[in-house]
Amino acid sequence: MLRLIGWLFGFGMFLALVAVAGGVIYLTSVSSQLPDYTVLKDYQPPVTTRVHAADGTLLAEFARERRLFQPIETVPPLVIEAFLSAEDKDFYSHGGIAIDGIFRALRDNALARLDGNNAIQGGGSSITQQVAKNFLLTADQTWDRKLQEALLAIRIESTFSKDRILELYLNEIFLGLNSYGVAAAALNYFDKALYQLTLSEAAYIAALPKGPNNYHPFRRPQAAIERRNWVIDRMVENGYVSAKDGAASKDEPLNVIPRSGGSQLYSAEYFTEEVRRELAKLYGEDQLYGGGLSVRTTLEPKLQGYARQALMDGLIAYDHGKGFREPVASIELGSDWGIDVNKVSPLSDVPEWQLAVVLELGQNEARIGLRPDGAAGGGVSDERLEGTLSGPEIKWVSKPVQDILKVGDVVYVSPVAGKTGIYTLEQVPEIEGALVAMDPRTGRVLAMVGGFSYSLSEFNRATQALRQPGSSFKPIVYAAALDNGYTPASVVLDAPVEIRNSDGSIWRPENYAQEFYGPQTLRRGIERSRNVMTVRLARDIGMPLVAEYARLFGVYDTMQPVLAMALGAGETTDMRMTAAYATIANGGRKIVPTLIDRVQDRYGVTVYKHDQRLCQGCKADGWQGQGEPLIVDNREQVLDPMTAYQITSMMEGVVQRGTGTAAKVLNRPVAGKTGTTNDYKDAWFVGFTPELAVGVYVGYDQPRSMGRSVTGGSFAVPIFTEFVGKALEGKPATQFKVPAGMSTAWINPNSGVKAFDGEAAIEEAFKPGTGPNLMTSVIGLDVNTFDAIQRQQQMQQQYGGGITQPSGNGQYLDPNLGRGGLF
């Protein structure tokens, strides 16, 4: 018997040793496959890139995983207590494995086996185990993975502090609504920072790790509330909050306010998308969507709102002149028209308008039903609002309401100010345009609107639309001339000219009025936008020189040196044209427009800044009586400052006496130039004050004529004026700075000679060594030719109209006037 007992004992020991050996072999095998947990030391999770306006307003967030890294020191105790209560109440006391959780998991899994369910039921994982799983392992529900998780948890606990482990967990955990980490969840669910969360809100976020979709605030609100209340009960049980506060919090609704990840400023969608493209170009997609960049842009929200409104007003005013086209949609009216009209999506970035369906037509009015607001989570509100579409309030439509609409038509409407329940008809314009406003001293883009609605079209007409600038290009030609020996008083002949093209065809440029005006000063030529004068001037100085100036100003990267380009026949963008004018406005320093002031990485280190000027003495520990730091402007000087002032003064004349006189209402120094292309397909006005450079472009996306009456002066200038008037409201008028060394003289605006007392005169600025023209020293003409021109002008005054028209071969009928070029 003893021998049998001994044998059984020995055999049992053998089996035990075999089991131990097997266990050791198994553990060794599992351990050998463990990932390197020390990589957690260098943990850099994908973090949301955030884009801010110049004043700090959040514009947009870019992320694949919306996460904001929150150091554990800044996580409020309330949030920590909520998560400990929900996930691991003994976190700060165990060594990585929650024993009670394991026994609970074993019990649940055993019961599942008895029921024939072989799937693992809940793992009883501690927070440390969840860190191991989330960072280093897969989500596979296998015994091997669970064992690896436990082993890793023990090793992590021996290497990292409890606070560091909790920090990793709170920043990595997925909490639904594309929220990774508690900071992102607070923003995405409640639009709050962590420290602003209430007990109820913190408990709801802590309820989500178990399964965000199981407790979705809109799809499963009851389950969400029950789970939140369970967390609150655990917090009370653990002594973190009082029973009274817990009971009060359990009575609160969820109050979830989903937060959009797109532009947070509805008027800045074009701007933020341009910033996104620029960041992707600078840092790549991975850094953009996971690098946690903090981007401070140049956008001024108030100016952006003014820019959007000015462009919209201009486009709508033009479109109203074309009459009503058609409704947005038509539906069959059923018992619940709200559901049907709710299927028609409105423009999300035009909140001033609402969609409405025509319910009943009357005498020049209609009873309308307003599109219900989408409830949170995408539902449809039961509330139905009705109103009256009043014919007399639709001042841009001449026909009665019943003649343009029918029952079931869905249209845009807007409320009439001061009249409750009364609406007027709105219409999305077909015409499009762009507005760019920048600081001419730095190139910082303060506002940019790329079209009527980003929701309708994401194509940015400020930066992507290549359009002919027309006469708004002329200042580049005149600047090149002034930089190379001409003065504003130099005289050019405005008379027919023939240009033989390389293919043998003849080009005969014409002025807008299809008349010719004889000898004209450069100032008069740009003020009145004389095409033929510009062609003659460009031919005289040479198109290669004009092309080089266009490159220096950034209008074109390369430009064909053909004379038609002098009249703006090339294609460029509103952004480039505005930057070119800003270069003139700041005295000739090359402007590189920017939408980004500064970029910081996730650690707050500045990795990019636009301002590259050198500052000697800016870094100082304190003031020791030293003078102000010297800031050295190291940007390229592409234009003589004196030339810049001369062309600025000439463009002031465009506003005071020329094609841009609609801008005179601003009552401050404004310089600019209109532009209208062939067949009236594009209309421009680019102008500036000492503080602000603004470019306005309008035209159809598929180029077609806007009508003979539509020019830069009649269409683009009013948009410019509305914006600049609001942008500079309340700011004192600033004069353009005259560079030292220039002299001034009063000249006759027709001949460029020194004016006599009593004559109409213009004060002109001259560079050293230059001045008014001499009566007998007009460029390129002898006295006899000048006398002939004088006789021609006398004939013009006597008989009226333009200068005598040429004969069929291009010659003047007066034999003393040759075919005429620059003189």
Using an 8 Å Cβ cutoff, are 779 and 821 in contact? Answer: no
Radius of gyration of the chain (CA): 37
Which uninterrupted H or E stretch holds 172? helix 162-172
Q: DSSP string of 519-584?
A: EEEHHHHHHTT-HHHHHHHHHHH-HHHHHHHHHHTTS-SS----GGGGGT-S-B-HHHHHHHHHHH
CA-CA distance, 381 to 705, in Å (whole number)?
44
Tokens read off for 41: 């030391």
CA-CA distance, 496 to 811, in Å (whole number)?
8
Tokens read off for 802: 């333009």
Other CB atoms within 10 A of residue 741 CB: 9
Query: Residue 476: CB partners within 8 Å, gap ≥ 6?
Result: 546, 549, 550, 553, 555, 580
Among left, alpha and beta (phi > 0; psi -120 to 50; other), residue 761 is beta
Q: How far apart are the first and last CA of the chain?
A: 136
Tokens read off for 814: 């007066």
Bridge-based pairing of strands 491-494 and 422-426 is unpaired
Burial 768-779 (b: 16+ CB within 10 A, else e): eebbbbeeeebe
729 is catalytic: no
471 is catalytic: yes
Bridge-based pairing of strands 58-62 and 379-380 is unpaired
Single-letter amino acid code for the residue at 304: Q
Tokens read off for 820: 């005429």
Tokens read off for 245: 């506060």
Instruction: Give the angle 46-47-52 at the CA atoms, nearest 5°.
Output: 150
3 state DSSP class of 220? coil
3 state DSSP class of 263? coil
Catalytic residue of the set 471, 472, 649, 751 = 471
Q: How many CA atoms lie within 13 A of 209 on its CB side?
A: 25
Instruction: Give the angle 142-143-145 at the CA atoms, nearest 5°.
Output: 70
Tokens 């410019």 belong to residue: 720
Catalytic residue of the set 61, 81, 87, 426 = 87
Using an 8 Å Cβ cutoff, are 538 and 546 in contact? Answer: yes
Tokens 């002032």 belong to residue: 645
Using an 8 Å Cβ cutoff, are 663 and 686 in contact? Answer: no
Tokens read off for 209: 């790790």
Other CB atoms within 10 A of residue 182 CB: 28
Single-letter amino acid code for the residue at 322: K
Burial 375-396 (b: 16+ CB within 10 A, else e): eeeeebeeeeeebbbbbebbeb
CA-CA distance, 221 to 225, in Å (whole number)?
6
Among left, alpha and beta (phi > 0; psi -120 to 50; other), residue 283 is alpha
Selection from 268, 263, 311 nearest residue 726 by Cα? 311
Burial class (CB in 10 A: 0-12, 13-18, 19+), 348: middle
Tokens read off for 10: 């020995």
Bridge-based pairing of strands 606-609 and 374-375 is unpaired
Bridge-based pairing of strands 422-426 and 385-390 is parallel
Using an 8 Å Cβ cutoff, are 89 and 329 in contact? Answer: no
Residues belonging to the active site? 87, 471
